[in-house]
Amino acid sequence: MRHPSPDRLERIAARGASDSRISSMSFRIEQPSTGFVWEYGDTRRPFFIASITKLHTAAIIMQLREESVLTFGTPAADLLGEDTMRGLNVHGGRDHGPAITVGELLAHTSGLPDYFEQKHPDGTTVQTHMLRADRTWTLGDLLERSRALPSPFPPSTPGRAHYSDLNYDLLGRIIEVATSSSWAEACRARIITPLGLGDWALTPDTLERCGSVAEVRHSRTPLHAPKALASQPASGGIVSTPADQVRFLRAFIAGELFPGRVLSEMTARWNSVFSRLTPLACGIGIMQYRTPPALSPFMRIPAMIGHSGSFGTVLYHSPELDLHVSGTVNQMRPRSLPYPILTRLVAEFR
């Protein structure tokens, strides 16, 4: 294993941070085999990790599976009731909602619509509502909107995946039912406290802490939507720092949160999400990022596993290079903004 000079990484990061669309950026890289640690930016400032939170939710589900509370094949309706799942995936006159399983929710193969970016019959999305005015969204609100949206395919259609926050909102509710606690309490008890993290979940009870978190922008406009972000924390509500993110990822990969053998199940098969042209694919509760050749035309960058978020956040592990990388550019648009920076930093370790 080799690592580049910190000065070289600093120049790459500074070049990326000079983009006028980025108001603040922080990164941390750890290579355990060499003891190499590198940071950039104000790494003590917490940030919204957005959908990277889904790794926390997946880890708790894996723990519940090991405790024989559920399996990948357990219908979500068995845990949440058929009324919750009814009408969420209808094809050919058949309602598939009650048959959707825990494993399909984890892998985004449930065929559930995406209320965040998919247009409602009135032409709006939850994202457009969030950008216009802050409000609280209950799970019932999101289920109602989702039932008005077309489902892209029946559950477990071969080779198909469709990224939807609703998958993890429902998994969060499953965790609450199974643990008789809030999702935030379960996350704290099962992940944050055992790992000694400073992470916390944005919920209606922690809104006053938002002032300490790095500002997120949507293009040039600052985002202020604490109520919306706190509405369904299981799909995107964690606040963290680069060091705590890397600590979490290392524990996730190394089998500290659930048996290490489970990771091989989670990464055994990948399905493209968004479109087959994007470099992101989903396994079971985890995401894969493959660097497009255009971002690294002269060097092969190995695939990385972890997750990313819509606020310009990335958290990935390269098994081949023994790297753990956490970063944020705190920017929603364009969504691709952190990836060239991530790729150029990782390329230095080849």
Pair of tokens at residue 328:
């944020």
Q: How distant, in Å, are the alpha carbons of 144, 193, 239 from that of 60? A: 26, 13, 17
287 - beta bridge partners?
282, 306
- The one-letter code for the residue type at 206 is T
138 CB neighbour count, 10 Å cutoff: 10
Measured CA angle at 330 (ends 277, 296), to 5 deg: 40
**Per-residue model confidence as pLDDT tens digits over 167-218:** 999 999 999 999 999 999 999 999 999 999 999 999 999 999 999 999 999 9
Does the structure show a pLDDT above 70 at 277? Answer: no
Does the structure show a pLDDT above 80 at 274? Answer: no
Nearest alpha-carbon partner for 29 in 19, 44, 39, 41: 39
Residues 194, 331: Cα–Cα separation, whole Å? 31
CATH of 55-179, one of 3.40.50.970, 3.10.20.30, 3.40.710.10, 3.40.50.2000: 3.40.710.10
Query: What φ, ψ does residue 287 adopt, rounded to 5°?
Result: -120, 155
Measured CA angle at 55 (ends 49, 58), to 5 deg: 145
Pairing assessment for the beta strands 90-91 and 287-289 based on DSSP bridges: unpaired
Q: What is the mean pLDDT of residues 276-294?
A: 90
Nearest alpha-carbon partner for 326 in 318, 338, 315, 334: 315
**Per-residue model confidence as pLDDT tens digits over 132-144:** 999 999 999 999 9
Nearest alpha-carbon partner for 152 in 51, 310, 273, 309: 273
Measured CA angle at 245 (ends 327, 294), to 5 deg: 35
Secondary structure in 3-state letters for 27-38: EEEEECCCCEEE
Indicate the average pLDDT of the chain.
Answer: 96
Omega before 32 within 30 of 0, i.e. cis: no
**Per-residue model confidence as pLDDT tens digits over 53-96:** 999 999 999 999 999 999 999 999 999 999 999 999 999 999 99
Q: What is the mean pLDDT of residues 237-245?
A: 98
Pair of tokens at residue 218:
């949507």
Pair of tokens at residue 260:
């290490």
Pair of tokens at residue 39:
């940071």
CATH of 6-52+193-347, one of 3.40.50.150, 3.40.50.12160, 3.90.550.10, 3.40.710.10: 3.40.710.10
> What band does 3 get if pLDDT is binned at 50, 70 and 90?
confident
Domain boundaries for CATH 3.40.710.10 within the chain: 6-52+193-347, 55-179
Q: How distant, in Å, are the alpha carbons of 8, 11, 260 from that of 15? A: 11, 6, 38
pLDDT at 276: 63
Residues 224, 291: Cα–Cα separation, whole Å? 32
Query: What φ, ψ does residue 176 adopt, rounded to 5°?
Result: -65, -45
- The one-letter code for the residue type at 321 is L
Does the structure show a pLDDT above 80 at 299? Answer: no
**Per-residue model confidence as pLDDT tens digits over 87-122:** 999 999 999 999 999 999 999 999 999 999 999 999
Q: How distant, in Å, are the alpha carbons of 48, 197, 243, 310, 338 from that of 240? A: 7, 8, 8, 15, 17
Residues 226, 210: Cα–Cα separation, whole Å? 7
**Pair 226, 207: CB distance under 8 Å:** yes
Q: Would you call 308 helix, strand, or coil by DSSP?
A: strand
